[in-house]
Structure formats: structure tokens, C-alpha cells
Amino acid sequence: MNKHAPFAPATREPQQGRSRASYERMLAAAEKLMVKRGNDEFTLTEVAKTGKVSIGSIYLRFDSKDDLIRAVHARVLTRIDEDQATMMDAVVARSPTLDSFMRNFVEAFAESLRGYSPVLRPMMLRAVHDSALSGVGKSSADRFGEKVKREILAFSAEFARADHQRLVDNAFHVIYATIARFLGLGSSPESANEGNWEELKEDLATMCAAFLRAPALRA
């Protein structure tokens, strides 16, 4: 469970042994079905069959399908949070300049989102009408965004304008929105895979570094 999550799914999570293994199979099966279908339109009977568990054991751990989905959501976000923390440590360690940071960050972040995109798509669809899910997802994304922005601000001596926070906020927004659109995350899944992925990453890093260094336009 994501320790920062603002909601707690109604689950009865076992701590060890065969019950724990069965519980993990329930979550893994539900996640697998979400990825396969691209949505959460599956039944608990399908979860039971896919996870090789009984319907009774599912209801022993979850009050409803909604709670099972929320538990999957929390587990996926915890995994993403941990992976992205490790990713950022690696990016910072090998990025002594603004150019190198942008190049390394955009590459690593884009590939991270692409790897998680099959499960993020159905999660985002669900979040449209599930305020609990949208809240915990936004909280996770905001924490990561603030971490990235702090690291970019470390290169503020290279910026050409004084409003550093605004510049960094806009640069990160452009990076995330562009990558998410390419991957079909959020409100425009029909736009997925438009263009060249490798060129997109290279151009994003170049444009954002140049934007941060650019002086104000003169009237």
C-alpha cells in the first residue's frame, strides 16, 4: 500500500504464508486483466480463474470489486514511486550540467512511463469517475514532479531569466504532457504513437534546455 495514499481500500491483507500468496495472486490477476482489456471491465469470476483462487477467498479479502481495483492501483503506484526514486538518483548522479540532466531525465522518464503505460491507461480511465483513485494518483504525480523541479532548479545559474520557478514548472509540464500524449495516457488515447519516439525524446530535452536558457523576447 502506498504510505502516502489519501484513502485506504477496504481490504483484509494477510501477513504471511499461503494466504499472503493467494492475496498477491488476486492483485496480480486483476492487474493482468486490466492490462489485457485496457479497462476494468472484468468480473471477479475472471479474477478468480486467472489468479487460481476462489471467489470466496476474494470476498474474504475485499468487500467489493472496487476495493480490489483500488488495492491494485495502490500497489502499482507504490511500484512506480519506488522505481522513479531510483531512476532520479541515477539521473542526478550522471548529470553535472543542465544539458546532461535534461537529456538523461527525459530519456529515463519517458521510458519509465512507456513501461508502465499498459497499466496506467486503465487506471487513468478509472480515475475519471473515482475521486479516491484520482486523488492518490495526483498526489503521487505531484510528489514526483516537485522532486524533478527541485533538481532542475539546481541548474538555475544557467537560466537566462529570473522567474526560475515559473520556467521550471512550465518545462516539466511540457515534458510530461508531451510524453503522456504520445503514449495515449489521459484524455487523448487516440493520439498514441504519433511521430518518432526517439526523435521526440531528443527534441524534448533540447527544447526544454534551450527554453530555460532563453532570454525574454523584446517587444
| pLDDT 10s digits, 113-166 | 999 999 999 999 888 888 888 888 889 999 999 999 999 999 999 999 999 999
Kindly list the distances between the CA atom of residue 131 and the CA atoms of 67, 134, 137, in Å, as whole numbers in the listed order: 13, 5, 10
Q: Yes or no: say if 69 and 126 are a contact pair by the CB < 8 Å rule.
A: yes
Is the pLDDT at 2 greater than 70, yes or no? no
State the Cα angle at 2 between 4 and 142, rounded to 5°: 50
State the Cα angle at 115 between 153 and 168, rounded to 5°: 15
In DSSP terms, which residues pair with 11 in a beta bridge?
62
Helix ranges (DSSP H) in 94-130: 98-127
Give the global pTM: 0.86
The yes/no answer on whether domain 71-213 falls in CATH 2.60.120.260 is no
Q: Yes or no: say if 122 and 184 are a contact pair by the CB < 8 Å rule.
A: no
CA pair distance 83, 112, nearest whole angstrom: 8
Residue 190: predicted pLDDT: 60
Residue 146: predicted pLDDT: 97
Q: What is the mean pLDDT of residues 200-211?
A: 97
6-65 per-position pLDDT tens digit: 444 556 666 566 778 899 999 999 999 999 999 999 999 999 999 999 999 999 999 999
Residue 199: predicted pLDDT: 97
Is the pLDDT at 211 greater than 90, yes or no? yes
Residue 5: predicted pLDDT: 42
Q: What is the mean pLDDT of residues 89-116?
A: 97
Residue 212: predicted pLDDT: 97
Is the pLDDT at 104 greater than 60, yes or no? yes
Residue 130: predicted pLDDT: 87
Cell 535534461, residue located: 102
Give the three-state DSSP class for 62: strand
Q: Yes or no: say if 35 and 118 are a contact pair by the CB < 8 Å rule.
A: yes
